[in-house]
Chain A
C-alpha cells in the first residue's frame, strides 16, 4: 500500500495549530493535525459549563492531596480548580526538569490551552518590533508592524475581539466587536488618571469575546457572550474564541482536515538528500506504538516549549544539535512576562451604584514608559490590567464579627476597590534556555525538557516601577489607602512563555526567517510562541494567530509558485 502523503502536517491544535489548520484547509491543502492529548468535543466535553457552585461537593476546590501529588505546578494557575482540572496536564505523568524554578502550565487536548487562555488580545506596534534593534538586546525582528497589520485584521475579524478604538500609537486599533462597558467607578478613574497623567490612557480590555456576532461567527454555531465569567470551564455558547469553538470547525467544514489524537510527536524526519523535513514520528500516548506521518510541509504549533523540545529531539548527522539548528539559537532566549506587581486600594463613595453580570474582562493601561525616548533606569516597559469592583463575602468575611451582624454586613456588597496589576516585558537572554535531559525520559521515551531561566536586573527594576507607578496613580485619583502589590513569581507563571526558536534576519543567529520558516529547512515552519524574538508587554496570543495566518499565506504562495 502506498504511504499517504499529506500536503501539510500541523503539530498541535492550540491557538496557533487551530489557525494553521483553518488557513491551510481553506487554501485547499490536505492537512493532518497531530494532537498529543485526548480528543475534546466542543460542548460535549465541558462537564461543568452549567454547574452551580453547590453542584460540586467541594464547591470547586481540588483535594489538597491530589493538588500536591498530581498538579504541583498546574495548581499555581489562576484558573485551576475542580471546574477546570480536566483540561490541565497531570504534572506527575508529564514531568520536566527545573534547573531553576519555572512554572510550565500546560493543557494537552484538542484545542490545547485555547480552552484555558485569558483572552486578552492586543496588537503589537513598531515600538515592539523595533525594540531589539533600538537597544541591542536580542536580534532585530525581520518584520515590522506593516507586515503583520493585515493579518491582525484577518484574525481579529474571525476570532472576534471586543474592544474600543482608542487611537493609541503603541497599541494599534483593530477590527473590533463592540467594546464591553466600564462600570461607573472605572469611568471616573479613567477620567482622573488621564487628567493627572496626560500621556497615560485607561481603556476597556480588548478580549476575544463575541459581543455582536456576525455571520462568520454564527455560521459556526458561535454566539454572544453571556457574561458568566467562567470561560475556563468551556463555553457552550462559543462566545470566546478557542480552537474548539472556531478554527477547527472552520477547518473541518472544508473537507480537507484530518486529525489524530493521543499522538505525541517524537521527532521530525529529515531527508539529507533533499534537505527537507519529510514527516513526523509519533508515539501513541496509550499504546506506546510508533507511527510515521508524511507530508510535503510541516508546521510546528506545539506550544513554545513543545515545538522546541520536538526540534531538539530531531537529531541527525546533518543536524546533531536539533533540526534546523545550525545557529545554535534553538532552545535559547526563553522569555515570559513579569507580573503580580501593582497596587490596590479602596475608592470612596459610589455606594449606591453596582453592576449586573460578570464581565470576563477588565481595564487596560497601555505601556507609557520609554516610548519616544529612554527615560527610565530599565529598558522597555509594561502595561497594567485591572478593574474596579465591589467585593462580597469572598474577601469581606475575614475580619471579626459573627451572627446576625455578620450576615447583614455580608448581604451588602463592600466598598469599591480598584486594582492595577502590571505585565512587563522580559529581555531575551541567551542564558535563559531549554535543553534535553541527557538521561531522563518520559513514559513515551522522549527526553525530558530541562528549563533554566531566571529574571534579570532589568525585570527587577521594572517591577519596582510597576508597583510604585501603580501606587502613584491610585493616589492621584484619590485612593487614600493605595497599597503596593509585589508578589515574586517564577518565570512561566504568566503563561506567556516565548522564544527558543526565534525569528531573525541572519541564519547564523536565528532559527526562523521573516515568514516563520526555518532558515535551514525550508519546508519546516514554527508559528507558535517559540518564534518570538522579543516579548513586548502585551498578551501574545493574538500575535501568534497573525503570524500563523501570515506564514500559511506565504507557504501556500510558495507551493503554488513551485518554490516549496
Chain B
C-alpha cells in the first residue's frame, strides 16, 4: 500500500534495513525476513524501549533463535517489536537497564576474528556465538548475569513468536473457538502442537 510506504514507521524500517544491508555481513535470511516484516502490522510500530542499535541486536539474536524457514522467523512474526514494546511499557526502569546491559554485553563479547562487535560479525560467527551462549545458559542452573539474561531473552523470543499470529496460526495450530473437546485424536490429524492451552 502506498500509504504504508509513506508512513514514518515504514520509512524507519527501510532505513533500518538499509543500515543492516550496508553492514559487513548481514545474512540474506535476515534481510528477507525484514522485508517480509514490513507488511506485518506489528512491524509498523516505531522503536520505543530500545535504541536503534539495541533493536538491531534484538532482531539479529531473535532471528538466529527462531529463523525463517518454510514459515516466518522471529523478525517476520514481529518479535523484535514485541520485545521493544515490552521493554518500553512492561519493565520497570531497573529491569529495563538490566535488559539493555544484557544486550550490550553480548555485543561486546570477543568474536573469533578481528571484527567490531557482534553486529558486524559474519552470520556464521553470530550463530556460533549464540549457540555457545545458549549451551552455557542451560548447561547448569548458572546464575551468572549473562546466562540469566540469555534465558530471559530466549523466553521472550519464544513467547513473542508463538503468541504472534504467524507463530500461532502458521507455525503451530490455533483454534480460537474449538466448539468441542475430543480427548483422543491421532496426532497426524492435527499435525502440529496447539499454540494455546
Residues of A at under 8 Å CB distance from B?
50, 52-54, 57-61, 63-65, 68, 180-184, 186-187, 226-229, 351-359, 389-390, 392-394, 397-404, 406-407, 410-414
Contacts and interface: CB of A to CB of B under 8 A. Distances in A.
Leading 8 A-B pairs by shortest Cβ distance: A357-B181, A357-B178, A183-B183, A53-B163, A397-B158, A400-B138, A184-B184, A181-B183
Contacts of B155: 397-398
Contact of A356 (B69, B158, B168, B181): B181
Contacts of A403: 64-67, 127, 131
A183 B184 contact: yes
B103 to A, nearest CB: 17
A400 B195 contact: no
Given A57-B82, A353-B185, 5 more contacts: A60-B163, A65-B92, A352-B187, A403-B67, A412-B193
A403 B127 CA distance: 9
Contacts of B178: 226-228, 356-358
Interface in B164-179: 164-165, 168, 171-172, 174-179
Given A50-B176, A356-B190, A398-B155, A63 B196 contact: no
Contacts of A397: 154-155, 158
Nearest to B157: A397
Interface residues of B, number: 58
Given A64-B95, A400-B134, A352 B186 contact: yes
A353 B190 CA distance: 10
B165 A392 contact: no
Contact of B180 (A357, A389, A390): A357
A358 B181 contact: yes
Contacts of B158: 393, 397, 410
29 contacts: A53-B163, A53-B164, A53-B196, A54-B164, A64-B95, A186-B183, A187-B184, A227-B178, A353-B185, A353-B187, A355-B183, A356-B180, A357-B182, A358-B194, A358-B196, A389-B197, A392-B194, A392-B197, A394-B162, A397-B154, A397-B155, A397-B158, A398-B151, A401-B134, A402-B65, A406-B65, A407-B67, A410-B193, A411-B193
Contacts, number: 164
Nearest to B184: A184
A404 B71 CA distance: 11
Contacts of B130: 402
Given A402-B131, A407-B171, A354 B65 contact: no
Nearest to A204: B183
Contact of A355 (B137, B163, B185, B196): B185
Contacts of A353: 184-187
A182 B95 CA distance: 43
A420 B172 CA distance: 28
Interface stretch (B9-17, B50-58, B83-91, B113-121): B83-91
Contacts of B174: 52
Nearest to A58: B90
A400 B183 contact: no
Contacts of A390: 193
A398 B165 contact: no
B187 A351 contact: yes
Looking at B42, B168, B176, B189, the one whose CB has the most chain A CB atoms below 10 A away is B176
A355 B184 contact: yes
